[in-house]
């Protein structure tokens, strides 16, 4: 069964097929928590890539104009209201300026200081991005980091973009996957890209075991296989699956999830033609000799997989939501309030650049696929 059958897509129709020949892809970039490093990194990436990519920033226009003027007075932004775009569509400005769709903040921004008054505005940027993909304004969405606690403090239960995009697009199951290029040890050949997908996303550790089920894992494996083929051009993805418990349960003496849940889900995936293997002990799986032939590692929970990925690739990793009816990528880091409080120019923009490049590559792959099919 394909991921499409499993996930029951919403009516959301991405705009990819409608890019004019030679036109720059239009990508929505939500600027994230205003008191964090997101707005600066989003402006820098959009301005640096403007010749090739029409990045449309979603955030408070006056705040972004002020931030841009501090980064570099040469940066030119053009602001539009969401209402204007709804009525007239996204205008085709040239690469001399970066378009901003104004999503006003409620409160004045103090860098490094969270203000729950602004939580709902941050969420509104995500809604505008999703609306814009459905309306054909954007081919993909790149999200700068937001502060999950501030959205909750604003009174909206929120665990992450991943879950929010799933809910807002009517997608019952998505998969968080982070990807990056590990550095080669000196003199050694470049290792393959490291991709780490998660069976569960933002869950308290005490709830992880209960959240694992054969059917759930089977759907996760389907989505990874489907999207690595369709969105990453990998013909026969090989997925290595971690156990949950130390030593993958030590034959049942250190936990039974491997025997009762994970191994049967892998066997079921294999029966559907998916090259999934495991469960393997997570502490020894992340070695070059295993990873060199793997396209993705499926970890059972957030802090089993992501510390390894971030250790190997922090600063240029990309977070991709698989299984959505739209392309969504993000950075591998958070809001870095400590840096934002100290001023501009301190945050590394490598991950934001990589998130944008990955979104464009995925949009191009999707465009080619659509052209082949028509
Ligand atoms: N995609 C998203 O929206 C994400 C949001 N977050 C959120 O960010 C908030 C803060 O999370 P933390 O765990 O403190 O992680 P964090 O990534 O914001 O900060 C951890 C450390 O890394 C440094 N750092 C982060 N990004 C950096 C960059 N681009 N350049 C240089 N140094 C950088 C920070 O200065 C800090 O020392 C939380 O609310 C979390 O939920 C975290 C990850 C992703
Ligand atoms: N550690 C990854 C993370 O927290 C990003 O979550 P999301 O907001 O992209 O769902």
Distance 338 CA to ligand 1 centre (A): 9
Whether the CB-CB separation of 118 and 129 falls below 8 Å is answered with: no
How far apart are alpha carbons 263 and 329 in whole angstroms? Answer: 30
pLDDT digits (tens, 9 = 90+) for 138-161: 999 999 999 999 999 999 999 999
Query: To test ligand 2's pocket by mutation, which of 30, 162, 174, 333 has the most ligand atoms within 8 angstroms of CB?
Result: 162
CB count, 10 Å around CB of 267?
A: 12
Determine whether the shortest distance from the Cβ of 36 to ligand 1 is under 6 A: no
Q: pTM of the entire structure?
A: 0.93
Average pLDDT along the chain:
93
Question: Closest ligand 2 atom, CA of 319?
Answer: 9
Is residue 4's pLDDT more than 50?
A: no
**pLDDT, position 100:** 98
User: Ligand 1: which of 36, 37, 145 to mutate, judged by most atoms within 8 Å of the beta carbon?
Assistant: 145
Pocket test for ligand 2, best of 123, 308, 319, 329 (most atoms within 8 A of CB): 319
Token representation of residue 338 = 């400590």
Closest atom of ligand 2 relative to the 321 alpha carbon? 9
- E strands of 36-117, at which residues? 54-59, 77-81, 98-102
User: pLDDT by residue (tens digit) across 31-58?
Assistant: 999 999 999 999 999 999 999 999 999 9
Residues with CB under 6 A from ligand 2: 160-162, 306, 319, 330
Query: What number does the ligand 1 atom closest to the CA of 338 have?
Result: 35
1-173+325-374: which CATH topology?
A: Isopropylmalate Dehydrogenase (3.40.718)
1-173+325-374 and 175-322 in the same fold: yes
3-class state of residue 175 by DSSP: strand
Phi, psi of 71 (to 5 degrees): -65, -50
Is CATH 1.10.3470.10 the classification given to domain 175-322?
no
Q: Identify the band that residue 62 occupies on the pLDDT scale cut at 50, 70 and 90.
A: very high
| Tens digit of each residue's pLDDT (9 = 90 or more) over 229-246 | 988 889 999 999 999 999
Q: Which residues pair with 28 in a beta bridge?
A: 56, 141
Q: How far is CA 226 from CA 76, 79, 237, in A?
A: 40, 38, 9
Mean pLDDT of 259-267: 98
């Amino acid at each position: 069964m394909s991921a499409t059958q499993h996930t029951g897509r919403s009516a959301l129709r991405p705009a990819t097929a409608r890019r004019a020949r030679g036109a720059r892809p239009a990508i929505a970039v939500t600027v994230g928590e205003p008191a964090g490093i997101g707005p600066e990194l989003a402006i820098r990436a959009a301005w640096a890539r403007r010749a090739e990519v029409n990045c449309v920033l979603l955030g408070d226009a006056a705040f972004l104009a002020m931030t841009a003027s501090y980064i570099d007075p040469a940066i030119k932004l053009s602001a539009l209201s969401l209402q204007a775009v709804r009525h007239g569509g996204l205008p085709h400005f040239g690469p001399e300026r970066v378009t901003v769709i104004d999503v006003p903040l409620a409160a004045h921004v103090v860098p490094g200081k969270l203000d729950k008054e602004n939580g709902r505005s941050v969420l509104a940027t995500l809604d505008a991005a999703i609306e814009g993909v459905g309306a054909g304004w954007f081919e993909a969405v790149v999200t700068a980091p937001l502060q999950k606690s501030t959205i909750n403090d604003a009174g909206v239960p929120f665990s992450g973009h991943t879950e929010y995009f799933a809910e807002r697009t009517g997608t019952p199951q998505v998969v968080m996957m982070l990807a990056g290029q590990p550095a080669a040890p000196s003199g050694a050949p470049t290792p393959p890209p490291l991709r780490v997908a998660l069976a569960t996303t933002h869950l308290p550790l005490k709830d992880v075991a209960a959240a694992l089920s054969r059917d759930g894992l089977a759907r996760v494996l389907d989505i990874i296989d489907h999207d690595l083929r369709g969105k990453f051009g990998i013909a026969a993805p090989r997925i290595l699956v971690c156990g949950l418990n130390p030593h993958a349960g030590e034959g049942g003496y250190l936990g039974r999830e491997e025997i009762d849940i994970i191994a049967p889900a892998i066997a079921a995936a294999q029966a559907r033609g998916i090259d999934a293997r495991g469960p393997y002990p997570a502490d020894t799986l992340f070695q070059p000799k295993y990873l060199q032939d793997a396209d993705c590692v499926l970890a059972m929970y957030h802090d089993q997989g992501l510390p390894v990925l971030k250790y190997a690739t922090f600063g240029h990793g990309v977070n991709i939501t698989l299984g959505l009816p739209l392309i969504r990528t993000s950075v591998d880091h958070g809001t870095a309030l400590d840096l934002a409080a100290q001023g501009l120019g301190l945050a590394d923009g490598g991950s934001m650049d990589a998130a944008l490049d990955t979104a464009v590559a995925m949009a191009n792959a999707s465009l080619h696929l659509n052209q082949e099919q028509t």
